[in-house]
Amino acid sequence: MQARTLPTEFRGCAGMYVCICNRLTDQQVRAAALSGASRPAEVYPACGCAAQCGTCAITMRHLIDEQASRIAAAE
Ligand code: FES
């Protein structure tokens, strides 16, 4: 899979915490999605961590789906 970069509107922004247990931001989740993670279980290892409580999984799912829609719209 080809590496992608974050959309310009997300570059240089600190981001919002999505996963409190692992201190992952929405930008890190989006970057993982751009790198090929298609579900939360793939985001954690892509970010060098593992699922803890799992509370963030639904929000991650939304971010991954949103990123996939952006990619599809751009292609
Ligand atoms: S908030 Fe992400 S694993 Fe707990």
Query: What digits encode the pLDDT tens for the residues 28-67?
Result: 999 999 999 999 999 999 999 999 999 999 999 999 999 9
Against a cut of 0.75, is the pTM above it? yes
CA of 61 from ligand 1 middle (Å) equals 13
Q: Burial, 15: exposed, middle or buried (Cβ in 10 Å; 0-12, 13-18, 19+)?
A: middle
CA distances from 1 to 24, 37, 58 (A): 23, 11, 25
What's the pLDDT tens digit per position in 6-16?
Answer: 555 555 566 89
Go through the chain and tell me how many residues it has: 75
For residue 54 and ligand 1, the question of a CB distance below 6 A is answered with: yes
Q: Could you tell me which residues come within 8 angstroms of residue 24 by beta carbon, excluding any fewer than 6 positions away? A: 17, 18, 43, 47, 49, 56
Q: Residue 8 phi/psi, 5° resolution?
A: -55, -30
Q: Which of 20, 23, 44, 49 maximizes ligand 1 atoms within 8 Å of its Cβ, making it the mutation to test the pocket?
A: 20
